Amino acid sequence: MPLKLPIFMDSQSTTPMDPRVLEAMLPYFTEKFGHPASRNHPFGWEAEAGVDKAREQIATLIGARDPKEVVFTSGGTESINLALKGVAEMYREKGNHILTTTIEQRASLDVCKRLERQGFEVTYLPVGREGLVDVETLRAAITDKTILISVMFANNEIGTIQPIAEIGKLAKERGIIFHTDATQAAGKVPVNVEAMGIDLLSATAHLLYGPKGVGCLYVRRKNPRVRVAAMMDGGGHERGMRSGTVPVPLAVGFGKAAEICREVMGEEGKRLGVLRDRLQDLILSKVDEAYVNGHPTQRLPHNLNISFAYVEGESVLMGLNKESALSSGSACTSSTLEPSYVIAALGVDSELAHSSIRFGLHRFSTEEEVDFVGRRSVEVVQRLREMSPLYELAKEGVDLKTIQWKGE
Ligand SMILES: Cc1ncc(COP(=O)(O)O)c(C=O)c1O
């Protein structure tokens, strides 16, 4: 079968929706249109049953004891806002210190900046060369004013998976609330809020083959009972934490997507890991001075991030983008020409941070697609290097750092 172009390999920005998810959602757009809070007639009961089932499916995926701990939101960004601002407001009397990392997604970092302007102190922990947070550094940064630790489960650019269970244990020992942004990890790798000591967890449906516009915040109800201040005032839906009518079809889709992920995650992860390694080997065997960013093993199976020395990531994308959808940096910042702050945080030099490309495989990726994208990436990088005076100089043995550029 001929390849269908363009090929989507940007699954960290969003995932294609699984057709089974759409099928589950459709009746809730038409005949099952009731309001889930209408307690006094069958239309409401039917809608409520759909939402309850979805809550259960999501709770099962993340290992929550009680479906009531799942609070529906509009997506990952809102969940993160609710978690961070909600804890800050609710626990302000207890302390004003928040611990997070330099490689969180913009939603987390921007909330933290706002909280700083409001008088909170935020410590942004560095990460090592492979993108891992050091738990001992985290321990040392805790003060008696620390009310929240927020560390993402897996990074959206490099895929590195953090030692979440260790952080959860530490947070428990010190009586600090632990939030994790699991938008990239949930549905892809095992996530268990009980086993990992997670108190608050943000997830979004569109990154696990569900619809856009719905997400959730897991809020622990026991050991300890965690409370977050609501960001929106209104009808007191979602146990008072998130007012507003739950978008029933979207919630049902999220639930179905979570159920499918739970069933297929093991096999899917293995398959995508094999495909990812194939892509990585194909590229690294043909291109010199190409470096994989992130942890070699502790990373999401579908994620590959490579810096190609002497070429701009943006130029590589321009060479490929008619036939392959890839990304440099994260989806939201790739429109600017700033180097990725995540890659920069790994301590690689700024040229390499400018030259990173992110490949994201997904449920529907095939070997043929991987081979095509791999081959084309190699061709484009080689062509750009042929035109690059820097590459030529480097190949002649000139140390580029010693060059005094005119105008410097
Ligand atoms: C790590 C991470 N956190 C949060 C978000 C935001 O989620 P949403 O798009 O559902 O608002 C994203 C989106 O890509 C993400 O990758």
Residues of the chain with CATH 3.90.1150.10: 7-13+264-377
CB of 108 within 8 A of CB of 79?
A: no
Identify which of 80, 104, 183, 300 to mutate to test ligand 1's pocket (most ligand atoms within 8 A of the CB). Answer: 183
What confidence score (pLDDT) does residue 402 get?
Answer: 75
Q: Class of 7-13+264-377 per CATH? A: alpha beta
Q: Name the least confident of 83-97, 120-134, 229-243, 255-269.
A: 229-243
**Is pLDDT above 50 for 56?**
yes
Could you tell me the distance, in angstroms and rounded to a whole number, from the CA of residue 306 to the centre of ligand 1?
Answer: 21
Q: Name the least confident of 224-233, 299-308, 390-399.
A: 390-399
Could you tell me the distance, in angstroms and rounded to a whole number, from the CA of residue 206 to the centre of ligand 1?
Answer: 9
**CB of residue 217 inside a 6 A radius of ligand 1:** no
**CB of residue 198 inside a 6 A radius of ligand 1:** no
State yes or no: is 332 an active-site residue: yes
What confidence score (pLDDT) does residue 337 get?
Answer: 61
Express each pLDDT in 201-244 by its tens digit: 999 999 999 999 999 999 999 999 999 999 999 988 899 999 99
What is the value of pTM for the model shown? 0.95
Question: Which residue's C-alpha comes closest to atom 13 of ligand 1?
Answer: 13
What confidence score (pLDDT) does residue 407 get?
Answer: 60
Mean residue pLDDT across the chain: 94
Could you tell me the distance, in angstroms and rounded to a whole number, from the CA of residue 290 to the centre of ligand 1?
Answer: 28
Express each pLDDT in 119-150 by its tens digit: 999 999 999 999 999 999 999 999 999 999 99
Residues of the chain with CATH 3.40.640.10: 19-260
Asked if the 19-260 domain carries CATH number 3.40.630.30, the reply is no
What confidence score (pLDDT) does residue 76 get?
Answer: 98
**CB of residue 107 inside a 6 A radius of ligand 1:** yes
Express each pLDDT in 316-336 by its tens digit: 999 999 999 999 864 444 455
Could you tell me the distance, in angstroms and rounded to a whole number, from the CA of residue 78 to the centre of ligand 1?
Answer: 9
**CB of residue 215 inside a 6 A radius of ligand 1:** yes
**CB of residue 255 inside a 6 A radius of ligand 1:** no
- 328, 305, 317, 309: which is closest to 377 by C-alpha? 317
**CB of residue 152 inside a 6 A radius of ligand 1:** yes
CA-152 nearest atom, ligand 1: 1
Could you tell me the distance, in angstroms and rounded to a whole number, from the CA of residue 105 to the centre of ligand 1?
Answer: 7
**CB of residue 76 inside a 6 A radius of ligand 1:** yes
